[in-house]
Structure 1
């Protein structure tokens, strides 16, 4: 998974590089309808499924896993890159 965060501290995008999810369920994490929810979210705090991100129907675990991956990128950004020139 790859997460882009702008120098302004906003999530620019999420790309699923590989997965072994069930076709039609967890594999929907690759679809724009799910990924677009992350775009523009501020990297100020961790995101939560149910609050910030709507889980995919039938794929709550995958939704949480992708959100956890984005949160890992947000933590890294805040610890290592925020304010760097």
Structure 2
């Protein structure tokens, strides 16, 4: 949903094809970054019992990769999002 909103905004503003592609990559990266950070926050606040349930389901970045690797993924995605916006006017 975020990717669509970002791309549509770019199209309405008259973005060129290469700019639309950058916005698309930005939107995807922001969406995944949001989920990783949300999973990290959930892991920080959930009880041990909730954590075990999440691990069994394997439905979070923290459950799959662990906190340290999820943090690394978040940092890389943050860098990627900033890079995709290079070249746009402020």
- Structure with the larger strand share: 1
Structure number with higher relative contact order (C-alpha < 8 Å, ≥ 6 residues apart): 2
Name the TM-score class by shorter chain. Answer: 0.3 to 0.5
Q: Tell me the TM-score normalised to structure 2 length.
A: 0.35
More helix by share: 2
